[in-house]
Structure 1
Amino acid sequence: MAEHTFGVTGVGMYTPVGTRAPATCAAIRAGISRVRPWPHFSFADEPINVGAVAADGRDASWCEKAVPITRRPIYEALWQAGLYSHDWHGRRVGLYFSTPPSQRIGVLPEFYSDFGACLGDLWDELAGNDQIHLVEHAHVGGAVALAAACEALSKGEIDAAVVAGFESALDSPYLDELLAQGRLHTADRSGGIIPGEGAAAFVLETAAGARGRQAAVLARVVAVALEQEAAGWSPSLPSQAGALSRALQTALAVPPGASEYRRLMVDHTGERWRVREWALAEPRALGGLPLGWQLWHPVDCVGDLGAAFVPFAVAWAATEFTRRNAEPGGTIVGAMNDAGERAVLTLMPR
């Protein structure tokens, strides 16, 4: 990160509250929620509440929905960045795509390969190449993808990158598994996952590359920090927030420092262990933030965005920077997954 400055030049979203990034951000800022009963799955004769983007709210696997839903924010991000037609701009654009683990129900290897083939066809149409990198790290995947994209840009392997992610938990077999594990939000279990669905994408370039083609930079990536909890950790075990605290400390040690960040975006899902871990990390790593800093999370409006969270958060922050809806200062994005991986990235206005 020290050798190059990286900027976001385009963003896209498709969520339960909006089909494009500006509409989604305006709806969340207004507190509009599209979490509502879903007729395809119930517990104790009551439908569970979910956030769904599909017009028909259909019950289908992650792999069936991924490309049809994600193509829209990818189009939007490329269009805003001025990289929509590869025949015209002639630049090498790579795709870094955040997904759930391929062993998850609904994301099984035999279906995952079909998803990869469909994504390849889409990317050949949009970018004219096969530079696709699938990142199976769930909530943390967008940050891992961002780090990989930064490395490829630094080495000159690509001229720009699209970092995208998609999540859909609206699949009855997967919801059955969450229910059996005691992890699903139901009428008698308030501390559980609120299933969500959505996709987001952003275009990443070096600052020099963006200047060279006179593209507007919407947000600047300052730091990306990745950490891992000790072996054997799981959401059911108490956490001391060691990995999350280290990731925060590492990211906030990079200039301009903690005092310049006024917002923290987190990937709350409805489960209590995430809230407890952030509560433990706050006094250790966030003491340098200015008084009155804000905590932002989208779960109440759209449900758990899973593998799409980090691309969503970057697009959200960049949109708020550009429209000057947030107070001056930077944004911290924090994510964690069930495998004990923790990620923190920091963003500043252009």
Structure 2
Amino acid sequence: MSASLDIAAVGMVTAVGLDAPSSCAAMRAGIDGFGETRFTIPGGDWLIGAPVRLPRPWVGEKRMAHLAGAAICEAFDAVPQARGRTALMLCVPEEGRPGRPVRDYALLLRRIAEIVEVEAHSRSRVVAHGRPSGIVALDHARRLLAADEAEYVMLVGVDSYLTPHTVTHYLNERRLLTNDNPNGFIAGEAAAAVLCAKPGRGSFGLYGIGLARENAFIYNPQDLPLRGEGMISAYRAALKEAGAQMHQVGYRIADLIGEHYWFKQSTLAVSRVTRIVREFMDIWSPTESVGNVGAAVVPLMLGMAYTAAQKGYAGGNSVLIEASSDAGACGTAIFRGRR
């Protein structure tokens, strides 16, 4: 099988680093960016979160624009000839999520273009599927590249759960990790950018994508039991396209945000698609260091995998990346390194 696109460069802004090298080094070392936030929880304690320490106290749309702009600039610095020749895939929270940090994404795109100092590409678009947005954006990106509608495509995810409305909502739903709720996630924020090019322009390529939907999504109103059918379908689709079996995958990176549901879903998927059992397959998750970063997580995981391959500490030559949303959207992507 041949790659459908290559990763040419990455950029990151996270709670553990303001660029990709420092963020990846911190995540590899198991360092986290957790600390007290300005939000209080019942009982009067401060909520633990994973905020990005920016040089200025920007908030809302302006904060998101600067987070995304910094990640994009880092990727462009590595491939300067891509400036002005790149379509932007902006990965953002799903519609209807309480407390989204940005309402007008067309305006956000314009703000980002001003910060990065490039004109918006005609094929740029917004992908609003929450955590799996990056997988959907990868599918759009490879189609644009194959059709010669863009020379490069930049995937950028930016998101924050650290807004007053968001924190209030998830506290009321008992979904945030607190002293009296161990089955919750840590609210975080981040931006990550991935510059994609046609196959042959890099050494780390996309070989398969799987997209599916889980009917028994977390806290579904019908109380359907989780069997992992959505993620299983996504695994099978990506493996089939890549011409691989599960035991041939080197390692996995997953958006395991902290709640038990996501660990169970991932375990069900890998156990159902594995035919030849390996002694060990490593699994990484950036959320151990940066918390739940929503729509930024897939570009962040792609950046982790790319950096690990470039620096020689990856868990294998190929990696399966998975992400899923609260509404049941499931996505997987398989990448391989080439010598």
TM-score, normalised relative to structure 2 = 0.91
Structure 1 residue 156 displacement after superposition: 1.1
Q: Percent identity?
A: 24
* 1:249 Cα offset (Å): 1.5
**Structure 1 residues 234 and 191, CA gap change in structure 2 (3 angstroms):** closer
Task: Provide the rounded CA distance (Å) in 2 between the counterparts of 1:249 and 1:70.
Answer: 32
Aligned length: 334
C-alpha distance in structure 2 between counterparts of 1:127 and 1:80, whole Å:
19
* Aligned-partner Cα distance in 2 for 1:286–1:130: 42
Offset at residue 234 of structure 1 (A): 4.3
Q: Is the 8 A contact 2:95 2:129 kept in 1?
A: no
Pair 1:59–1:171, CA change in 2 (3 A) = farther
Give, as a single letter, the amino acid of the residue that structure 2 aligns with 1:243: G
* 3-state SS in 1 of match to 2:335: strand
1:283-328 per-residue CA deviation (whole Å, 9 max, x = no partner) reads: 1023446432101012121111210111011111000000001244
Of residues 307, 316, 334, the one that matches 1:319 is 307
1:65 aligns with 2:57: no
Structure-2 separation of matches of 1:173 and 1:57: 22
**CA distance in 2 between partners of 1:107 and 1:60 (Å):** 12
Q: Is structure 2 residue 49 aligned with structure 1 residue 50?
A: yes
Structure 1 pair 46–59 and aligned structure 2 pair: CA distance change class (3 A) = farther
Work out whether 1:99 is the aligned partner of 2:92. yes
For residues 45 and 252 of structure 2, the distance between their equivalents in structure 1, rounded to whole angstroms, comes to: 34
**What secondary structure, in the 3-state scheme, does the structure 2 residue paired with 1:308 have?**
helix
Distance 1:59 1:269 in 2: 25
Aligned match for 1:250, one of 214, 217, 237: 237
The structure-2 alpha-carbon separation of the partners of 1:93 and 1:112, relative to structure 1 and needing over 3 Å to count, comes to: closer
Distance 1:239 1:83 in 2: 47
Which residue is 2:4 aligned to?
Answer: 5
- Other-structure match for 2:219: 235
SS in 2 for 1:207: coil
Q: Could you say what secondary structure the match of 1:183 adopts?
A: coil
CA distance in 2, matches of 1:148, 1:85: 20
| 1:198 corresponds to which of 190, 201, 209 | 190
After TM superposition, the structure 1 = structure 2 runs for residues 205-220 of structure 1, keeping only pairs within 5 Å, are 205-208=197-200, 210=201, 217-220=202-205
Shift in Å at residue 122 of structure 1? 4.3
Moved over 6 A (4+): none
Please list every run of 5 or more consecutive structure 2 residues that lacks an aligned counterpart in the other structure.
none
Partner Cα distance (1:105, 1:287) in 2: 41
5 Å matches for 1:73-92? 73-83=71-81, 85-86=83-84, 92=85
Contact kept, 8 Å, 2:156 with 2:193, in 1: the verdict is yes
1:43 partner SS: coil
Amino acid at match of 1:184: L
SS in structure 2 at match of 1:54: coil
Task: After TM superposition, give the deviation of residue 186 of structure 1 in Å.
Answer: 1.1
Distance 1:67 1:333 in 2: 26
Residue 280 of structure 2 corresponds to residue 292 of structure 1: yes
Superposed displacement of residue 337, structure 1:
0.3
Residue 131 of structure 1, CA deviation: 3.3
Q: TM-score, normalised by structure 1?
A: 0.88
Map Cα deviations across residues 105-160 of structure 1 (whole Å, 9 max, x no partner). 3338854453243235446x225634321000000100001100111111111111
Instruction: String of CA shifts for 1:261-283, please: whole Å, max 9, x gaps.
Output: 22111101111111121222221
C-alpha spacing 1:349/1:322, structure 2 compared with 1 (3 Å): same
- Deviation, 1:100, is 0.2
- CA separation of 1:84 and 1:149: change in aligned 2, threshold 3 A: closer
What corresponds to 1:225 in structure 2? 210
Aligned-CA RMSD value: 2.3
